[in-house]
Amino acid sequence: MISRARGKKTGVDGEDHISRLPDDILGDIISLLPTKDGARTQIILLLVAPHLALRSSQHRARPRPRPLAQNRRPPLPASARRFSSTLRLASFGGCSFPDGDAGGGGALQLPHLKQLGLFNVRISERSLHGLLAGCPVLQSLVLAEDIAGCSCIRIASRTIRSIGVRHSSQSGDAMLQQLIIDDAPCLERLLLFGQIFHEDMVISVISAPKLYVLGQLPVEHQPTLKFAATVIQGSRVVNSTMPVPSVKVLALTHKDLSLDVVIDFMKCFPCLENLYIKMTKMDGESSKVTNAWCHKHRNLIDTLDIRLKKIVLTAYRDNRAHVNFAKFFVLNARGLESMVLDVAWVNNNTVWVERQKKLLQVENRASRGAQFHFVYHFGRSSSLECIWSKQVHDLSTIDPFLQGLTGGP
């Protein structure tokens, strides 16, 4: 099946009749075009295997297939090879790839492909590595849902700039458990989606000297993230003996907003500039965390180099832990440019905002130029919930987490 952009106006009457055609008919038409014209058309197409259509509203309304049905994925359609020589963008889902050179002519060769997505596919390690090797100019890669038949993926690419991973906690059947970024000199983003990962999943970054954006690190069924001697378990730093200075944008999810944990991350990523934190604790849940820091971190304040310029706290509430957390940076982050507090709509009133500014001691802020914004997400998803494959592939912005913030700076 071939998915293409809808709603574009063409022709004399301004109506696009071509986009109304079924996908299989459109594919046949393109295959009959002269080579030159067909190639021009395929550049803007997104090739999708049967059963994918993950971005259509119709598919999202359907229940997710049960894991027991994973063995029934149909084989990769012939259209994948028909268009492979000229594709720029491709997503494959709900299908199985031929194992190695058996039954299908070997790995796909996609010499011009820049964006690749794999959604709920069955593919062996040999076939997957062959597929990646056949994409010599690949810039962005999404690995989503359950990648079956492949327990380990090793990525060595001189061109890849962005990687996104979404994985469930389903086990068995050689599910993806290890992602090794072996050699990626141009990699700028490593994005993780969802809060449920396989509990034994390990992501190892061996060589990615330009890695700039990391997140959002999940809080449930936490994967292990390794940077040489630095080890992160979910949203907790286990070992930070070798800091990672390249990371400047970090997104975390937390049940309990812990200043101690965030300070550990700042030590792990000493050049951190943009910090996004999403709270997952629901109203009514108790917490012993107070983030009292005046005495506990008095000696640390003089030695900790806080380079943060932007802080975004999603699901902010005016309890003691949240106020103490935010106030620490208000009074100690000398380079702070903006703090965004994403709050519930019920607090959308001037009196409440002024009270928060007084509690945070905004008038005594360490950075006199810092701006404070209260963002209300009633009727929409919070900023960290808006990140998905589109942001993995969109390389036009340095910080993908800035998207989704409305009402802020």
Per-residue pLDDT reduced to its tens digit, 137-176: 999 999 986 788 888 999 999 999 999 988 655 555 567 8
Q: What DSSP line would sit under 214-244, residue for residue?
A: EEEEPSBSPPEEEETTEEEETTEEEEESS--
**Confidence grade of residue 295 (pLDDT, cut at 50, 70, 90):** low
Residue 176 and residue 198: Cα distance in Å, rounded? 8
Residue 376 and residue 299: Cα distance in Å, rounded? 36
Answer whether 0.85 is exceeded by the pTM: no
Kindly give the pairing relationship between strand 230-233 and strand 371-376.
Answer: unpaired
DSSP label at 77?
Answer: P
- Domain ranges for the chain, please list them: 248-409
| Among 151, 102, 142, 101, CA closest to 122 | 151
Please tell me the least confidently modeled range out of 18-27, 126-135, 338-347: 18-27
Residue 247 and residue 213: Cα distance in Å, rounded? 6
Per-residue pLDDT reduced to its tens digit, 243-270: 999 999 999 887 778 888 899 999 999 9
